[in-house]
Amino acid sequence: MTDKSLGTFINPFTDFGFKKLFGSEESKPLLMSFLNDLLPLKNKIISLEFKNIEKLGLIEEDRRAIFDIYCRDEKNQDFIVELQRAKQKHFQDRAAYYSSFLIQDQAKKGKWDFELTPIYFVGILDFELPCFSDDDYLHFGQITDIVSKKVMFEKLNFIYIEMAKFKKQESELSGHLEWWLYFLRELVTFDDVPVEFHGDIIEGAFELAKLANMTHQDRHAYELSLKYYRDFINVLDTTKSDKALEIAKNLLDIGLDIESIAKATGVSKEIILQIK
């Protein structure tokens, strides 16, 4: 029996959903398509091998740092693809820390000339990074000379996608990457595969994401993952609400008018009056 409250397709922002779409053996063509659309690679990725962090030879404490997907292509380029659901104070530091694992993993025993193959950290973020005040949803970073603005080292790459800033509608989409992002953002709202995706590789992502196509075991795993995701979102919403109320009270204490407080905090005028 199908639980209609779950919808037709899985939520890609759950841990299970993200790994089903991009981190499973059957989804390798989808991940390659996404990475080839996203990254300015001279040669397209034609094969990927998923790697396990346990094989990096890290000490036990470092193994606690778990990221969503770690893979390597046929040219030995390394990729971390991570979905981040909540703002983290030191997210970019964390991205650099994770990337350092992959740098160390390239060390060769015996004589080695220190030549590295490129590393790409891809963060799909369900929040906005404070360091980017513009409306651009896509950011690509390398080590750059701050005077000449020229790239000094192109083998360490950080790519961030701020999904909160991706607001384009179907008629505004430009390029295949934006179709991927539109798919991720809107997947849970679809009842069927839109005709625009017919014949495209993303149509295969719809098939993987369809609840009706899953085994009982996978459905159970997804439901647990979805429950965790919903609980997580509820905690975030409650925290934001409590913080907004606290700020509203502080602004009342310093004498700011109710209308200005409502605009600044998002708290309704009625609730501010109750606080007052």
Residues 156 and 169 in one domain: yes
Residues 209 and 234 in one domain: no
Residues 198 and 259 in one domain: no
Residue 176 belongs to some domain of the structure:
yes
Of 143, 168, 166, 165, the closest CA to residue 154 belongs to: 143
Residues 239 and 222 in one domain: yes
Residue 2 belongs to some domain of the structure:
no
Residue 84 belongs to some domain of the structure:
yes
Per DSSP, the three-state class of 173 is: coil
Last residue of a domain, one of 214, 231, 256: 214
Mean pLDDT of 163-186: 96
| Mean confidence (pLDDT) of the chain | 87
Domain residues for 246?
215-276
Contact 147, 4 (CB under 8 A): no
Last residue of a domain, one of 186, 214, 242: 214
Residue 1 belongs to some domain of the structure:
no
DSSP 147: T
Residues 145 and 253 in one domain: no
The predicted structure's pLDDT at residue 156? 96
pLDDT tens, 208-220?
Answer: 999 999 999 999 9
pLDDT at 59 over 50: no
pLDDT at 64 over 50: no
In the chain, the percentage of residues whose pLDDT exceeds 70 is: 91
Residues 208 and 219 in one domain: no
The predicted structure's pLDDT at residue 236? 66
pLDDT at 18 over 70: yes
pTM of the model: 0.80
Residues 203 and 133 in one domain: yes
CA distances from 89 to 175, 230, 247 (A): 32, 22, 20
Q: Is 227 left (phi over 0), alpha (psi -120 to 50) or beta?
A: alpha
CA end-to-end distance (rounded Å), the chain: 51
| Calpha distance 142→39 (Å, rounded) | 13
Higher pLDDT, 50 or 267: 50
Residues 31 and 142 in one domain: yes
The predicted structure's pLDDT at residue 117? 93
Backbone angles phi, psi at 160, to 5 degrees: -120, 130
- State how many domains the chain has: 2
pLDDT at 72 over 90: yes
Last residue of a domain, one of 214, 235, 254: 214
Residues 56 and 192 in one domain: yes
Of 88, 182, 93, 168, the closest CA to residue 136 belongs to: 168
